[in-house]
Structures are given as C-alpha cells and as structure tokens.
Amino acid sequence: MRIALLEDEKELAQLFKLWLEAAGHSCMPFSSGQSFIKSVSRDSFDLLLLDWMLPDLNGDEVLKWVRQHIDWRIPVIFVTVRDEEKDIVYALENGADDYLIKPVKSLEMLARITAVARRSKLNATENKIIQVGEFRINNTERNISRNGEAIKLTNKEFELAAFLFSNSGRLLSRNHLLDSVWGRGPGLNTRTVDTHVSRLRTKLGLAGEYGPTLKAIYHYGYRLEILPAYANSMDVA
C-alpha cells in the first residue's frame, strides 16, 4: 500500500518508514500538518498514519480536513502518545479507523494496518475476478475480456487495468499509479503512466462512448468512472 505518515519526531518517522517498507509498503513521511495536507491534496494514498501532537496543526485538525476534502474515504490510523479514553473516542467518532498508543510495536502496527485495509476493501481483488458490465478481469489468470472476447494486453497494461477497475470511482494520482503498478526504478516517470493509460483507452474502449470511462484529471491523475447501470452490475468473485 501507499501510505502517508505524519510524524514530527524524525527518528520515529524513520523507524516507522523502515517497518512499513520492510513489509512491502511505500511510505512518504511528513513532519508538519501543513506539508501533509499540501501533499495529500495533490497526491493519493491508500492509508494515512497521523500523530496528534504536531508543531503546527494538531492531528485532529488534519483528520477533520481529510474527511471534508478527500473525495474517497481513505482509512486513517492515529499513532500517538495521547492515551486518554476521551481522546480515543473523539478520534474514532470523528473519522479515524483505528487508534494506536505509543510506544507501538512493529508487528502490532502492521497487523492493524492490514486489518483496516481489509475492512476498507483495499487490495480486495487480489487473486479474484472483477465483473463490470461486459468487462471481466481475472487476476488469477491475468486476463481481461469484454463480452467473452479476450483483449490482448501487455503485462503492465493488464496490471494497470486491474488496478484501475479495482479502484473504480477513486481519484488516483500519477505517482500513486506509478508506485502501485511499476514501483520506483531508474528511468521511470509519470509519462510512463500517461502512455499506458492512452493505450488502455484505445484497447478497452474507455474513451466515454459507452460503459466505463477513464478520465484524466488536470494536474492530478486519472479516475475510472462507472455509470450507475454498470455500478449495479459490478461483482467480485
């Protein structure tokens, strides 16, 4: 998963980042509420980890902003020293999905992240079949068909299509797509995403003539939009 971490203690942020990346996640740390909000407003993540006591905005203020401005209900977990019951209740009642009290152990943090992701249905389509209207995406056999007719895609085109269909309706930044489908490596940049998206539009017929539409969001990324009639026919097996 792609995780944004808000933690002003540098050594602790580095430790959390080490744990998360060792578990296969991507982690982007921030030391202030303002820098965190600025990045989250122009980029997309799968999960947010928030400290409460920060040098500028408090974590509860950041949570409030996230719930008011992010168009997809991204999971949020607090990781903080504040251990009073009233603080825990306040955070959970105002949009947090879980609450960890420092000092926190690595295995517990990773387990809580996995549990929250499962409840939020993140990565829910791994090794499963997605049916959207006439489209059928088989993640086990790594193929996609429309009306029963197979569509020939390269490996990366299939991975991008599967990721987009499993996150339909969600606004995804170019960097998020790059991290999730390609990973980071030399020679990779967001133009790679744009090129593959253009090919998918043509091969899958996602330009808006009918069915799902793959839309570009100016200066941000892409969103696969599903018409209501199609949304009612979505299924994951």
Q: What is the per-residue pLDDT across 93-112, written as a single tens digit (0 to 9) for each?
A: 999 999 999 999 999 999 99
- The secondary structure of the chain as a DSSP string is -EEEEE---HHHHHHHHHHHHHTT-EEEEESSHHHHHHHHTTS--SEEEE-S--SSS-HHHHHHHHHHH-SS---EEEEES---HHHHHHHHHTT-SEEEESS--HHHHHHHHHHHHHHTTTTTTTTSEEEETTEEEETTTTEEEETTEEE---HHHHHHHHHHHHTTT--EEHHHHIIIII-S-TT--HHHHHHHHHHHHHHHT-BSSSS-EEEEETTTEEEEE--HHHHTT-EE-
pLDDT band at 132 (very low <50, low <70, confident <90, very high): confident
Query: 2-119 belongs to which homologous superfamily?
Result: Response regulator (3.40.50.2300)
Residues of the chain with CATH 3.40.50.2300: 2-119
Q: Is the pLDDT of residue 15 over 90?
A: yes
For residue 230, the model assigns a pLDDT of 56
For residue 214, the model assigns a pLDDT of 92
CA 30 to chain centre: 17
Domain 129-236 = CATH 1.20.1090.10: no
**Residue with token string 């899958």:** 204
Per-residue pLDDT tens over the stretch 46-88:
999 999 999 999 999 999 999 998 866 799 999 999 999 999 9
For residue 120, the model assigns a pLDDT of 75
Mean pLDDT of 192-215: 87
pTM (2 d.p.): 0.78
Residues of the chain with CATH 1.10.10.10: 129-236
